[in-house]
Amino acid sequence: MVARPAVVLRPFIGDLLAVVQPWFHHPEVSRRLGGPDWPARALDLLGAGIGEVADVVVFGAGTEPDNVASVRCATVAGLIPDTTVPDWEE
């Protein structure tokens, strides 16, 4: 068996923007997440209350059926599909 390299998750900070942004030029990444401006917009939202989970009643996520990695992540996180109907982006 071939050992796989470890994946190290790091906080996304402004210093990493130049490293991350080129990845968003890839057509598949751009289609699923947004263009190269998306990471900068995400940084702008930090500290704006986005992502706080106090008093949350329902926590949901949207995945595209053909995005196997996204579907698996949502499943592992314990999210259960509540419909098979595509959302408005389809």
Q: Is residue 7 part of a domain?
A: no
Q: Give me the pLDDT at residue 75, please.
A: 87
Q: Quick one: 87 and 71 in the same domain?
A: yes
Q: Is residue 8 part of a domain?
A: no
pTM above 0.95, yes or no: no
Q: Give me the pLDDT at residue 70, please.
A: 84
% of the chain residues with pLDDT over 90: 0
Q: Quick one: 42 and 65 in the same domain?
A: no
Name which of 79, 77, 74, 64 is nearest 29 in CA terms.
64
Q: Quick one: 60 and 89 in the same domain?
A: yes
Q: Quick one: 19 and 42 in the same domain?
A: yes
Domain count, the chain: 2
Measured CA to CA in angstroms, residue 10 lies from 15, 16, 58, 77 at distances of 12, 10, 27, 19
Q: Quick one: 41 and 18 in the same domain?
A: yes
The CA distance from 52 to 47, in Å, is 9
Counting as low any pLDDT under 50, the low residues of the chain are: none
Which structural domain range is residue 69 located in? 56-90
